[in-house]
Chain A
Amino acid sequence: MSVTRRTAAELSESLASGETTSVEITRAHLDRIGEIDETVHAFLHVDEEGALAQAAAADARRAAGKTASPLDGVPVAVKDVMATEGLPTTCGSRILEGWIPPYDATVVARLRAAGLPILGKTNMDEFAMGSSTEHSAYGTTRNPWDLERIPGGSGGGSSASVAAYEAPLAVGTDTGGSIRQPGALTGTVGVKPTYGGVSRYGLVALANSLDQAGPVTRTVLDAALLHEVIGGHDPRDSTSIDQPLPDLVGAASEGASGDLTGVRIGVVKELGGEGYQDGVLTRFRESVDLMVDAGAEVVEVSCPHFVHALATYYLILPAEASSNLARFDAMRYGLRVLPEGIEAPSAEEVMRATRDAGFGEEVKRRIILGTYALSSGYYDAYYGQAQKVRTLVSRDFDAAFERADVLVSPTAPTTAFKVGEKVDDPLAMYLNDLATIPANLSGVPGISIPSGLAEEDDLPTGVQILAPALADDRVYRVGAALETLLLKQWGGPLLDRNHGLDAVEGAA
């Protein structure tokens, strides 16, 4: 089997056995990127030299009898929203064109310390605003299952890179579903950890109270391995949880037996039905049935305030984002545009011209929304009210988790749509995150794993498993169990059934 087809856990084993080297593995992935990324466009920047140097260092360590972590030498792709010292970081925006951060995000520093060569930076919707990567200022990433379709977003680049075997692992960020929804649409695994479980230091903030970085992989075990590398307390992030991570790899291994005896699965009544594609719901019900067969007990739970989650989210997110994005003013870094027809422009005029030219339509839309929601006289009605609903959503979760160990739903209401289909209809675009947003509002962890292909379009669907805050191990245990049951049913990984890249591979 080609090196790029292997999971991170398999690569780790082959490195340990001496069968291959990190340089070989890294080279193979760089070649794969060279072969298909012109078509897929998962990467905004590839760091061939840096990745190979880190791979060589990993090999040297191993030759000396030392390893930095179980994933030492296994390459990774990083969403372009994370600061990487010496590597461009654009967040998919023109306004950060040419910015090279002088520091590493904590997640990136931990990847480097654990010995994972960084292949490059992956594409995303501008400042993580979107569900398709169509809002990237640098072009849309294509879904490896169908190049006419979007890979989901905002982290479509990370998910597509993993689905297309350009990287065995990637890291993303999830503010309202930006890891899980692309996971569902590309047939990959994505995890949003408990809020505060992974440091946000160095992540260019979209909405600080919602953002969370997490793993993007092809298997649940790989996600657990990567999560253990990037997670844990960071004194640079005041909102980071000051306690050890649960044993995630242990939980994934335990779940892999496929046994769910005694586990209470809560099906959220409000996350299904109207607005959900038939094929998505069919695959979801099958997954629930498989879990029941494996010993799980199913209860239906109601979370009545989830119907307000989307509206709440679209007040809190733009409010925080409008303030976060104020710093892009051409004074210190990034793009600087001088206004036309003004002889000696003032700082204010330069700021205006730069922000006009540097931000895309969706970003401007949300800055305006957020500025309005925070304005004097509107604050209580919008931002203040949204915070109250947020509390109610959390109470819904609390009540539901009294009756169930985990909650399940389809990850996204539909399969991947066509490029251009929803880009001019913001509300239709926002609906993609209907099922994923409640977890961000209350900070609970969630995983999306592939649940099959929808009958009507043969495109991947995903199932989402949510657990109470701090119980990230539960999503790994139940996720790994369902993965085992599904693989048995399919007779192999879902991605083996993808032929969307055949033409490109043949041509190369």
Chain B
Amino acid sequence: MNDNLLSFEDALEKFDPALGLEVHVELNTASKMFCGCPTEFGAEPNTQVCPTCLGLPGSMPVVNRRAVESAVRIGLALNCEIAEWCRFARKNYFYPDMPKNFQTSQYDEPIAFDGWTEVEVVTDDGSETFRVEIERAHMEEDTGKSLHVGTSGRIHGATHSLVDYNRAGIPLIEIVTKPVLGTRDQAPLVARAYVAQLRELLLGLGVSDVRMEQGSLRCDVNLSLAPAGSGILGTRTETKNVNSLRSVERAVRYEVQRHAAVLESGSKVLQETRHWHEDTGITTSGREKSDAEDYRYFPEPDLVPVAPSRDWVEQLRSDLPEPPREKRARLQADWGFSDLEMRDTVGAGAVVLVERTIEAGASPQAARKWWLGELARRAREDGTELTDLSVTPDDVARVQALVDEGQLNDKLARQVFDGLLAGEGSVDEIVAARGLAIVSDDSALGAAVDNAIAANPDVADKIRGGKVAAAGALIGAVMKEMRGQADAGRVRELILEKLT
């Protein structure tokens, strides 16, 4: 079924959008929220489990102090109040990937609440800053993961389902914004910029890997429209699992257009959950929210309240890293980037990547060149984000070091990135396995030079005759024979030695 859509421009002329974002962040604690099981991604299914995270009869939870610390730090970084006393609550519903058939979460007593952050959107005439109010950030545990076996990969039409409980009990922080108003036509960009900035902030705090493709940051987008200038809030939809920055932007844009078409036709927007389809870029109806599930929340009786002492909170506050915006200004000065260069870096969500690459030894310009050039192109081609590429800042710094040492040139470096993206191993392993190192060994080069001279006697004669510029043609022939892996400078020297 195809939805009717109004053009984005027409939609924004008639309606004001209100955004709301719910972001689930998996913390990178060594152990789970309520037990000692490891949290490593990608382990064999059901190997990182124990009686507690499997919800076996009789098992009991114990709160992971490091997860509470991360929650408090996230709250502080988002300018939230930190609760003096708060409890966990049980959210009761049945689902096979939830071992206890309730999720231990927080309900009316979140650990952090009433915060804000400011995000910057790049516009045609400079930039615009929007304030996003944070309603709450609370702690909870992740569920297991269902795998529906069958042709579609969805529950309908599956022959059977498998459940992996390794993820069950991984600590999650859910960060919920208040309705973000007044974004107008910038709504898609504001949503994207908020998630990008949140990711940067979480990376800076070191509390999460924030890899959207691995699900360690998951985003639900709430959107409603109200008649332009009315100042009211319309009926909202909640679009689930919008799991890339690009999709956040697209999903907001799509829902704006869809809502506008519904409202224009005189119908009402249905309050419901929508599913986002990355491949087609559309949302489809999920379950209706009108018969909203009753989760029968009540305080978790197996846990004592969490009461972060004020001294501890202040200690954590004083140890917070620099906020992203201040940090960006400082980094721009340190790196000597122009305004345009910095804006592009921020826009690509590459600030932390560039920073880490520089920390690993590359020059600022080299780091920027790779991330915003070659790697940004690869990410676009794959429809993914820079941070989701399987190339790390350390990899980029290593490649650049090899270029600086003369062992790689830019063309070979791109082949190294091919290898990294294909998961062929480390930079050095790929260079060795693919035989990519530049050859500057005279005996190997000498033979190729001799061949080139023999094959191009007229060019050789020109050089002998003093037209040194003609050497370029011979260098090209040598490079071709050496499949690009020759040290061009040394080849030139050898040609001139032999012919002059």
Contact = CB atoms under 8 A, between A and B. Distances in A.
Interface string B262-303: 000000000000000000000000000000001011100111
B313 interface: no
Interface in B289-333: 294, 296-298, 301-304
Contact of A329 (B57, B101, B294): B101
Which residue, A96, A236, A327, has most C-beta atoms of chain B within 10 A?
A327
Contacts of B47: none
Interface stretch (A15-23, A260-268, A318-326): A318-326
B55 A327 contact: yes
A388 interface: no
Given A238-B304, A375-B296, A89 B100 contact: no
B94 A348 contact: yes
Given A102-B51, A375-B296, A239 B58 contact: no
Interface in A319-368: 319-320, 322-323, 326-329, 331-333, 347-348, 351
Contact of B62 (A102, A238, A332): A238
Which residue, B58, B59, B100, has most C-beta atoms of chain A within 10 A?
B58
Interface in B410-465: none
B101 A204 contact: no
Interface residues of B, number: 29
Contacts of A379: 296, 298
Contacts of B56: 83, 101-103, 333
Contacts of A244: none
A238 B161 contact: no
Contact of B58 (A105, A323, A328, A371): A105
Nearest to B54: A332
Contact of A323 (B62, B96, B296): B296
A83 B60 CA distance: 12
B302 A238 contact: yes
B298 A374 contact: yes
B165 to A, nearest CB: 9
A201 B59 contact: yes
A96 B57 CA distance: 9
Contacts of B99: 327, 332
A209 B60 contact: no
B63 interface: yes
A204 B302 contact: no
Given A327-B101, A331-B96, A200 B60 contact: yes
A103 B51 contact: yes
Interface string A189-207: 0000000000011111101
Interface string A373-416: 01110010001000000000000000000000000000000000
Interface string B43-61: 0000000010011111111
Contacts of B302: 200, 205, 208, 237-239
B218 interface: no
Contact of A331 (B62, B163, B297): B163
A481 interface: no
B94 A351 contact: yes
Given A238-B304, A327-B99, A327-B100, A374 B296 contact: yes
Contacts, number: 98
A82 interface: yes
A329 B58 contact: no
B73 interface: no
Interface in A52-103: 82-83, 89, 91, 96, 99, 101-103
A326 B98 CA distance: 10
B156 to A, nearest CB: 10
Given A204-B57, A323-B298, A329 B63 contact: no
B101 A83 contact: no
B62 A83 contact: no
A102 B99 CA distance: 16
B62 A347 contact: no
B441 to A, nearest CB: 62
Nearest to B91: A323
Interface in B4-62: 51, 54-62
B294 A91 contact: no
A370 to B, nearest CB: 9
B337 interface: no
Contacts of B92: 322-323, 326, 374
A201 B60 contact: yes
A235 interface: yes
Given A326-B100, A347-B96, A319 B298 contact: yes
Nearest to A319: B298
Which residue, B60, B96, B100, B102, has most C-beta atoms of chain A within 10 A?
B60
Nearest to A81: B58
Contacts of B62: 235-236, 238
A204 B60 contact: no
Interface string A174-202: 00000000000000000000000000111
17 contacts: A83-B57, A89-B58, A101-B57, A103-B51, A103-B59, A200-B60, A208-B302, A237-B302, A238-B303, A239-B301, A326-B100, A327-B57, A327-B101, A328-B57, A329-B96, A333-B56, A351-B94
Of all A-B residue pairs in the complex, the 8 with the closest CB atoms, nearest first, are: A326-B101, A208-B301, A374-B296, A209-B301, A204-B57, A202-B58, A83-B58, A376-B294
Interface of B: 51, 54-63, 90, 92, 94, 96, 99-102, 161, 163, 294, 296-298, 301-304
Given A326-B94, A326-B100, 12 more contacts: A83-B58, A99-B57, A102-B51, A200-B302, A201-B59, A236-B60, A323-B298, A327-B55, A328-B57, A351-B94, A376-B296, A379-B298
Interface of A: 82-83, 89, 91, 96, 99, 101-103, 105, 200-205, 207-209, 235-239, 319-320, 322-323, 326-329, 331-333, 347-348, 351, 371, 374-376, 379, 383
